[in-house]
Amino acid sequence: MRAIVYREFGSPDVLKTEEVEKPAPADGEVLVAVRAAGVNTFDWYMVRGKPAFFRLLLGSGRKPLGVDLAGTVEAVGRNVTRFKSGDQVFGTGRDAMRAKRGSFAEYVSVPEKMLAIKPRNVTFEQAAAVPVVGLTALQGLRDRGRVERGQKVLINGASGGIGTFAVQIAKAFGADVTGVCSTRNVDMVRRIGADHVIDYTRENFTAGVTRYDVILDIVSNQSWPACRRVLSPGGKYIPVGGPPSRGISLMLLEPFTRGKLVTFVARVNVGDLNVIREMIEAGAVTPVIDRSYKLEETAAAVRYVAAGHTRGKVVIAIGG
């Protein structure tokens, strides 16, 4: 089968399409014929090998790439109870840092706990756009932000992968949503449900008069004191993205912020994949696809995502 691999860290040019052995499902694993794979900034961090500890974790030698996937179950290993051959699934083809498998491939074998049945009303490409960013948006707003009906929620980075899910999920929770994006994305962010849109090229959201109950910050380009200034008295600031060094400094600061600053890392779990599947099937959430690439164009896809101006999600269409 064809798969994307790399042997050295660096620019997306290190990514190669190679013939590798088709995996067989081990006990508890599901062999998925991948139809589409979502591209995340995480993939780019893996390729460039920065922060440096990724290099230690990933080691030398041939490495696969890719987390998000949607596809069809080809075979199941022993003790698999939830899936059978022919099921259409979505989820993650890789467990965080573990580099044994990757979804940028024609087939991947993954533990069944990393998969759920695909939403029936979207394409494989749309389903592959969901897992990492959809779970991050859901868990950030629901578990960390505890967003309630009528609350004011601001999404900084509303036009990207996490942002386009966060705007729609916050709306589904009944919040009054403000999206922050650049001029070219204002219409799109409004169309997916934002009640108010702030164009960051003209206005700084931390300088306004509105106070927010929850700020989900995917960009982290404003200081903590500036963000705290626009929080309501019980408000929470939840940084989920931005430079890894900034994430680490905010984590160190968190214990001294009296619960106002809440950092977190999203976790893959079937229950939450099913929550998002239901939201998609109910029409409350629709994945936004920016571009679709072929498997052999993965380097270009990663380069585009690395530039940081994705409008929704970038996916790789495979097989089918």
Ligand X SMILES: NC(=O)c1ccc[n+]([C@@H]2O[C@H](COP(=O)([O-])OP(=O)(O)OC[C@H]3O[C@@H](n4cnc5c(N)ncnc54)[C@H](OP(=O)(O)O)[C@@H]3O)[C@@H](O)[C@H]2O)c1
Binding site for ligand X (CB under 6 A): 40-41, 132-133, 136, 156-157, 159-163, 180-182, 185, 200, 218-219, 221, 240-242, 264-266, 305, 308-311
- Measured from the CB atom, is 34 or 266 closer to ligand X? 266
Q: How far is the CB of 131 from ligand X (least distance, A)?
A: 10
Q: How far is the CB of 314 from ligand X (least distance, A)?
A: 8
- Measured from the CB atom, is 76 or 261 closer to ligand X? 261
Q: How far is the CB of 12 from ligand X (least distance, A)?
A: 14
Please state, in angstroms and rounded to a whole number, the distance separating the CA atoms of residues 127 and 71: 9
- Measured from the CB atom, is 123 or 159 closer to ligand X? 159
Q: How far is the CB of 34 from ligand X (least distance, A)?
A: 20
Q: How far is the CB of 30 from ligand X (least distance, A)?
A: 23
Backbone φ and ψ for 45, nearest 5 degrees, come out as: -60, -40
DSSP-based three-state secondary structure for 242: coil
Q: How far is the CB of 213 from ligand X (least distance, A)?
A: 19
- Measured from the CB atom, is 115 or 133 closer to ligand X? 133
Nearest to ligand X by Cβ — which residue? 160
Q: How far is the CB of 136 from ligand X (least distance, A)?
A: 4
- Measured from the CB atom, is 174 or 308 closer to ligand X? 308
| Strand ranges inside 93-157, DSSP E | 107-111, 115-117, 152-156
Structure tokens at 19: 């013939």
CB neighbour class for 98 (10 Å; exposed up to 12, middle 13-18, buried from 19): exposed
Please state, in angstroms and rounded to a whole number, the distance separating the CA atoms of residues 302 and 315: 10
Tell me how long the chain is: 320
- Measured from the CB atom, is 41 or 109 closer to ligand X? 41
DSSP-based three-state secondary structure for 90: strand
- Measured from the CB atom, is 265 or 282 closer to ligand X? 265
Q: Within 13 Å and on the Cβ side, how many CA atoms surround 303?
A: 11
Q: What angle do CA 221, 226, 228 make, to 5 degrees?
A: 115
Supply the DSSP symbol for 11: S
146, 207 Cβ separation under 8 angstroms: no
Backbone φ and ψ for 244, nearest 5 degrees, come out as: -55, -35
- Measured from the CB atom, is 76 or 154 closer to ligand X? 154
Q: What is the DSSP string of 182-214?
A: -GGGHHHHHHTT-SEEEETTT--GGGSS--EEE
51 preceded by a cis bond (ω within 30 of 0): yes
Please state, in angstroms and rounded to a whole number, the distance separating the CA atoms of residues 254 and 245: 15
Q: How far is the CB of 283 from ligand X (least distance, A)?
A: 22
